[in-house]
A and B are shown apart, each in its own frame.
Chain A
């Protein structure tokens, strides 16, 4: 009797313990001593010897490295009132890293065991080695994505400005407010159209988790908090997750293989405005913008990350459309713009196209940062203007940093427009000009081209900007009959040879005739 009661109890107990285990459950026991050794070799540069996030590299990083002693972890799947992440959460961040930050994934050089050792060690800083994480988020029944679910999600996203308050109405994270993290560092609401910048991933389930838990240490709140007026039911959170996932903009993803901008021939004149229908036909090419950390003064905390380029040309003009996400329309003199600027000095937003003055014959190009003395470059520059000054366009000649001189021009024109987190600027110029300081543009050749951008609300001006390396632009040459004629000639030539050979061969077969 007593024995069978014991078995029942044990059975019951084990069911309870099994049920309370985190759902992803697979984990290895970490050895914190081994973890410490690895930590001291590989992590102290950023996270600091004491785990306080004050390593020597920390000053030049936004977001700053995590301060483990604070016990705050951004990516967590513990239900909203818990503050201790699941071990698996910490493990995943070490394994795959945090895209869009300096935190790399370590799975390519550390073994699974070593990464669990690190988890065990890191948990000691906030004292989490002695506490138990609370239960994980409830997922309920996932709702598969469908047009209906996405539409529902969109409504919830916009309802009472629930998400759009920070992420903007199109989800581009165009800041309306100045957001600070818990340690006073600047944070930006994520641009939801760029899934590759998500700290974790834009997997439907991961988005669901972020919406449920929020992102601790930042202003991204939990929407499972029963105390919040904007709380969402489990079902609604799946709809919103499906909507967020649907925002990913695939045409503007950078494709490393694509290094050539193809300018499309158009009849009539080239478009002067950014919203001309013709741009729909031009092929977009996207490139990464890299902060200027090459010459003095360097810029370590960029905010612009990519630029998308399209081009068309007519018999006498070329137009180039640049499009880039910039969270802030920087308008010096404007109070609202001033409020979200960081640091307090507000500059104009700017963009420029860099072209060589003479198209290189061989391999040699101008130095990719503003040319060099032997190979000067042209810069086509546009600035967004202030409350008192309109937008401006200028043509600059440069032969290295600090040598920029403005040239007079009446053939270069530009105009830009800002809409929900995106600048679009169209440049126009005649293909040929009178000036020997101008690039003369011809069809059918490859012309090196590079770009720079400045976000004036992010303290960017002068050498503090983001830039690309050299890419190419080419104006498609008029289709000619040459390939066709060539093919025809080849065809008849080969047939002729065959005939000749046949006659000879036949002759040899019947020598008597």
Chain B
């Protein structure tokens, strides 16, 4: 480490973090971070790293040594001249590009799995989401045959109502998914139903997009309000099907 000048180290660390961000979000996750947000993160990271490097007086001196040398060392006049001409040009170009009117769409951040309310009114009744359970779950062990039957009714409900958006493979790629924003959720993904309790799904399905709290931007979600179309039983059955088809388990209260 000591071989590399401190200044270069600093540049490498900040540049490395930037590249890692771009690599992870843009390339691997395919979830491009909006520029404004990335700029803000990078500002804090650069400030943090700088604070670490200038913690002691020697640290600061070491860091600045190459810059000082540039001005004070007569052997480096040529490099100095180049740097001194380029720097103002780069800064000017940056300012110019920042002041041009933006055509990037405004950023919309929404929480995908907001905290559920503790109790909700559905079908004109109050449900306490903390204690609510799928009344049919017990049949899985107590009466497997009846359970299979209910899963299969759930499958029918799903194929008649949900596959248009969530896809017949439950992968969020239904025939109309491409025209929706936010996209219908992918139930095969470990980040959705496998992380959730069945009562959460009951709330989400019964109240749909408009039932979301503000931080989840209810006004853009196309998820329908299913209490207008399905009965309470039907919702529980379609939930059984979601877990059965994907082979996932609902999160239970103990976890």
Contact = CB atoms under 8 A, between A and B. Distances in A.
Contact of B103 (A469, A474, A483, A490): A474
A101 interface: yes
Interface of A: 41-42, 45-46, 55-57, 59-60, 101-102, 104, 106, 108-109, 254, 256, 259-260, 262, 287-291, 293-296, 300, 363-368, 372, 375, 444, 446, 468-470, 472, 474, 476-477, 479, 482-484, 486-491, 494-495, 498, 501-502, 505-506, 508-509
B159 A104 contact: no
Given A56-B160, A254-B178, A502-B71, A294 B222 contact: yes
B163 interface: yes
Interface string B160-188: 10011101110101011011110000001
A498 B179 contact: no
B28 interface: no
B163 A57 contact: yes
Nearest to A372: B219
Given A293-B164, A365-B220, A482-B99, A487 B92 contact: yes
B137 to A, nearest CB: 21
B118 interface: no
Contacts of B95: 483, 486-487, 489-490
Contacts of B29: none
Contacts, number: 151
A46 B105 contact: no
Given A104-B168, A477-B101, A375 B219 contact: yes
22 contacts: A45-B159, A45-B163, A46-B159, A102-B163, A106-B169, A109-B171, A291-B164, A291-B176, A363-B108, A366-B219, A368-B219, A469-B179, A477-B101, A486-B96, A489-B95, A490-B88, A490-B94, A494-B91, A494-B92, A502-B71, A505-B72, A509-B72
Contacts of B98: 486
B228 to A, nearest CB: 6
Given A45-B159, A60-B160, A260 B103 contact: yes
Contacts of A289: 179
A296 B103 CA distance: 37
A42 B176 CA distance: 20
Nearest to A258: B105
Contacts of B163: 45, 57, 102
Nearest to B176: A290
A449 to B, nearest CB: 12
B47 interface: no
A41 B244 CA distance: 10
A37 to B, nearest CB: 14
Contact of A367 (B89, B106, B219): B219
Shortest beta-carbon contacts, A-B, top 9: A288-B179, A57-B159, A505-B71, A45-B159, A483-B99, A494-B88, A56-B156, A487-B96, A290-B179
Contact of A469 (B96, B159, B181): B181
B178 A262 contact: no
B160 A57 contact: yes
A365 B99 contact: no
A55 B159 contact: yes
B68 interface: yes
Contacts of B165: 293
Nearest to B179: A288
Interface in B84-115: 84, 87-89, 91-101, 103-106, 108-110
B224 interface: yes
Contacts of B188: 109
A240 to B, nearest CB: 29
Interface residues of B, number: 58
Given A60-B160, A256-B178, A293-B164, A490 B92 contact: yes
Nearest to B164: A293
B72 A290 contact: no
A107 B124 CA distance: 44
Contact of A288 (B89, B94, B178, B219): B178
Interface in B54-85: 68, 71-72, 74, 84
B228 A296 contact: yes
B222 A498 contact: no
B185 to A, nearest CB: 15
A469 B220 contact: yes
A290 B184 CA distance: 13
B236 interface: no
A505 B68 contact: yes
Given A293-B164, A487-B95, A104 B224 contact: no
A106 B168 CA distance: 10
A288 to B, nearest CB: 3
B214 interface: yes
B91 A491 contact: yes
A486 B99 contact: yes
B191 to A, nearest CB: 18
A469 B180 contact: yes
B240 interface: no
B92 A488 contact: yes
B202 interface: no
A490 B93 CA distance: 9
A472 B94 CA distance: 27
Given A487-B93, A488-B92, A368 B179 contact: no
Contact of B106 (A45, A368, A446, A502): A446
B224 A294 contact: yes
A112 B180 CA distance: 31
Contacts of B245: 41
Given A288-B176, A363-B108, A476-B101, 10 more contacts: A45-B159, A290-B222, A291-B176, A293-B165, A293-B224, A468-B179, A470-B220, A491-B91, A498-B87, A505-B72
Given A477-B101, A498-B84, A365 B219 contact: yes
Nearest to B217: A363
Contacts of A106: 169
B87 A102 contact: no
Given A45-B158, A291-B176, A366-B219, A444 B101 contact: yes
B210 interface: yes
A491 B94 CA distance: 10
Contacts of B96: 483-484, 486-487
Contacts of B103: 260, 262, 474, 476
B155 interface: yes
B155 A45 contact: yes
A472 B180 contact: no
Given A102-B163, A375-B219, A501 B175 contact: no
